Amino acid sequence: MMPQSDQAFFQQVTRRLTWLILVLGVLGAAGVAFAKGIRDGLAFLIGASVSYASFWAWQRVIDALTPGVKPKSSRFYILRILLLGGAAYVIIRFLGLNVAVAVTGLLVSAAAVILELIYELIYART
C-alpha cells in the first residue's frame, strides 16, 4: 500500500472532524433538549455553532500557512467569527439561555478531536 501524501491525509482528517463536529452538535443539542428542555438545547446548539466556526477559522489559518495550498480569498474571516460570537452572546443574554450549557456546547470541537484521535489510533495505516 502506498503512503498517502500529507495533504491528502490532512483533507481526510478535516472532513471527518467537520462531520464529527456537526453530528456531535446536533445530537448533543437534541439530547440536552430532551433532558433539560428546548431552551437549553438551543443554548447547546449555539455553543456548538460557535465551536464549529472556530474550527473553520483555524482551518483557514492552517490553509493560509500551508505551502502549495491556495487559500480561499477572504480577508474578513476573523471578523466573521467575532461577529458570530458576539451574536451568540447577544442571543444567549437576550433570550436568557443557560450560559453553562452554551459553554458546554463550545467543547464539541474538542470532543470531535478526541474521537478523531481514537479513530486514528485504531485504524492507523502505516
Handedness of CA 67, 8, 1, 123 (dihedral sign): positive
pLDDT at residue 8 tops 50: yes
pLDDT in tens, 12-71: 889 999 999 999 999 999 999 999 999 999 999 989 998 998 898 888 877 777 777 666
Q: What is the mean pLDDT of the chain?
A: 84
In total, the chain counts a number of residues equal to: 126
Predicted local confidence at residue 81, as pLDDT: 73
Reference 45, options 112, 3, 108; nearest CA is: 108
Q: Using 50, 70 and 90 to split pLDDT, how confident is the model at 1?
A: very low
Cβ(47)–Cβ(106) below 8 Å: yes
**First-to-final CA distance of the chain:** 9
Cβ(8)–Cβ(53) below 8 Å: no
